[in-house]
């Protein structure tokens, strides 16, 4: 019989604050949620695998996360929601190149993707192109689409002025994201802005991380790029870490 929707929704609601970095998952949390996910999987293979994939990210097990999400995508016949959750998980693990690739494949098939996620992964121009297309497909009175375009259009123009290709930015953000993952944390989201003709790319980390730890992580992360003669920081694009969630990285229940 199908899993009652309320039970599945309840587990997603329990995972959400852990996923958004509002609190840190304990071993007991993960064990209890894993048992719930296994129970659901026995009745609904897709939802169960998605839950196990999310929990694998929170448990910091990338291999299992990939395995579970690929299984869920296959079992669901390529469900839009499942694929979006996988894209979300890829971002959280710092796998920006794969995140962008999967998102663009979803977009190419005519399905909706989160352009804020693309921006956070470093694909500024791609996000802007999609938002512009969405804007022109709707009335100029459509406030939502107008706001989305205004939000992203400045960054790609600054990127073009700085003369840095999209792939180089995505590679750099991937490097920074994987560094955060290597420290035992997942990413919550990303915020991109421009200041005096330069780009500030902020990667959001869990709120429970101590400020001093973030400062030390930033210093160590900066040192990763020091030996790179082609590092984007020399061309006006800077990456920082911030423990905040102004735009939460939502999982889809």
State yes or no: pLDDT of 141 exceeds 60. no
Same domain, 246 and 127: yes
Pair 230, 170: CB distance under 8 Å: no
Determine the structural domain holding residue 94 and report its residue range. Answer: 5-108
Q: What is the mean pLDDT of residues 21-28?
A: 92
Domains of the chain: total: 2
Helix (H, G, I), strand (E, B) or coil at 247: coil
**pLDDT-above-70 percentage for the chain:** 80
Q: DSSP character for 113? A: -
Same domain, 243 and 138: yes
First CA to last CA distance, the chain: 19
197 Cβ neighbours under 8 A, 6+ residues apart: 158, 161, 236
**pTM for this prediction:** 0.86
For position 228, what pLDDT does the model report? 73
The pLDDT-based confidence of 153 (bands split at 50, 70, 90) is very low
Q: What is the mean pLDDT of residues 154-162?
A: 62
Among 78, 108, 138, identify where a domain stops.
Answer: 108
Among 80, 108, 136, identify where a domain stops.
Answer: 108
Same domain, 74 and 193: no
Tell me the per-residue pLDDT of 43-92, one tens digit each, with 9 for 90 and over: 999 999 999 999 999 999 999 999 999 999 999 999 999 999 999 999 99
């Amino acid at each position: 019989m199908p899993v009652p929707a309320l039970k599945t929704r309840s587990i997603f609601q329990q995972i959400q604050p852990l996923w958004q970095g509002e609190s840190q998952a304990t071993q007991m949390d993960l064990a209890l949620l894993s048992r719930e996910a296994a129970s659901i999987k026995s009745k609904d293979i897709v939802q169960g695998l998605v839950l196990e994939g999310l929990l694998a990210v929170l448990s910091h097990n990338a291999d299992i996360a990939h395995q579970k999400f690929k299984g869920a995508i296959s079992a669901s016949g390529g469900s839009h929601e499942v694929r979006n959750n996988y894209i979300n998980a890829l971002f959280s693990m710092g796998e920006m190149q794969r995140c962008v690739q999967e998102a663009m494949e979803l977009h190419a098939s005519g399905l909706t993707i989160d352009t804020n996620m693309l921006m956070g992964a470093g694909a500024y121009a791609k996000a802007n192109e999609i938002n512009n297309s969405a804007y022109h497909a709707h009335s100029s009175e459509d406030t939502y689409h107008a706001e989305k375009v205004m939000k992203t259009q400045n960054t790609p123009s600054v990127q073009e002025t700085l003369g840095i290709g999209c792939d180089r930015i995505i590679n750099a953000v991937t490097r920074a994201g994987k560094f955060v993952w290597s420290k035992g944390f997942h990413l919550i989201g990303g915020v991109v802005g421009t200041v005096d003709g330069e780009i500030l790319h902020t990667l959001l980390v869990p709120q429970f991380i101590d400020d001093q730890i973030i400062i030390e992580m930033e210093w160590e992360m900066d040192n990763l790029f020091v030996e790179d003669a082609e590092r984007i920081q020399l061309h006006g694009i800077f990456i920082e870490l911030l423990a905040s969630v102004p735009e939460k990285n939502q999982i889809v229940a």
